[in-house]
Amino acid sequence: MVRDLGVLNWAEDKIAQGKFDHLGFSFHDDYEVFKEIVDAYDNWALAQIQYNYIDVDYQAGQRGLEYAAGKGLAVVVMEPLRGGRLSKEPPAPVARVWDTAPHKRTPAEWGLLWVWNQPEVSVALSGMSTMEQVKENIATADSSVPGKLTPKELSLIKRVREAYSKLSPVPCTGCGYCMPCPNNVEIPQVLQMYNEAIMYDDLQEGQSRYNNPDILKEEQRADQCIECGECREACPQKISITEWLKKAHELLKLKQ
């Protein structure tokens, strides 16, 4: 759309006029779309992507990180701690994996070091809400360099990722084959909210997102399912989607 509407030409004119110096983009879509955007313009300065040790295959993911960096773009990472979820006290099965680490670190420190361990990352944007968090993040950044984590530590983080994945009750991959729903339910998004509320033991955040009309409209929520069964037929995993939608709505709806 930006390309087709001539926005890139407009931006280059503004750069020539000295209005700004560089042009970049922030991204929320699939890898193939990311690659298309990178290839559509020769003078991108940076790309901003969501990336953390959970989201290695999500949206642009690791492939996008490496592709953009290989094209000479600076890569800015947002959500390095997945909206703060990876900095909180982890669920017991995940905590048991962290406890096996010979070098003890906080969950936030592990998450940020994993991002900064990769030479393709130029900047990590980490939200902080207390002075203690500011100090911890500065100390972690100060001690981080690409390649800092050992193979054993990287293997540990992989096992943490797997432990989180096992906590996900619905084996939904977000492929989208169940869409469009004939009754407009945003099936993958609802199931993701349900999974994450349980995976990260954060019902409050799940309910906040589910009931926020800027994220999910009322007519897109799980209680709009009419149980037609089309989604199950289309699902490669043969998930009992209608049953999971009921459970999702019951958990995530605001209680009266």
Write down the mean pLDDT value for the chain.
94
Q: What is the C-alpha to C-alpha distance for residues 146 and 106, in angstroms, rounded to an integer?
A: 19
Domain with CATH 3.20.20.100 in the chain: 7-166
pLDDT band at 146 (very low <50, low <70, confident <90, very high): very high
For residue 128, the model assigns a pLDDT of: 87
Residues 199-230 have pLDDT tens digits of 998 999 999 999 999 999 999 999 999 999 99
Whether the predicted pLDDT of 254 surpasses 90: no
Place of tokens 């009309």: 213
Q: Report pLDDT digits (tens) over 17-43.
A: 999 999 999 999 999 999 999 999 999
Cα of first residue to Cα of last residue in the chain, in angstroms, is: 43
Mean pLDDT of 178-200: 95
pLDDT band of 256, cuts 50, 70, 90: low
The highest-confidence range among 1-10, 143-152, 247-256, by mean pLDDT, is: 143-152
Checking if the pLDDT of 87 tops 80, the result is yes
| CATH homologous superfamily of 7-166 | NADP-dependent oxidoreductase domain (3.20.20.100)
Burial of 141-169, coded b for 16+ CB within 10 Å and e otherwise, reads eeebeeeebeeebeebbeebbebbeebee
Instruction: Output the CA–CA distances (angstroms, integers) from residue 148 to 8, 50, 55, 186, in the order listed.
Output: 38, 22, 20, 41
Q: What is the pLDDT of residues 37-86, one digit of tens each?
A: 999 999 999 999 999 999 999 999 999 999 999 999 999 999 999 988 99
Buried-exposed string 45-59: b where 16+ CB fall within 10 A, e elsewhere = ebbbbbbbbbbeebb
The model's pTM: 0.85
With bands split at pLDDT 50, 70 and 90, how would you rate the model's confidence at 129? confident
pLDDT band of 1, cuts 50, 70, 90: low
When pLDDT is averaged across residues 235-256 and rounded to a whole number, the result is 93
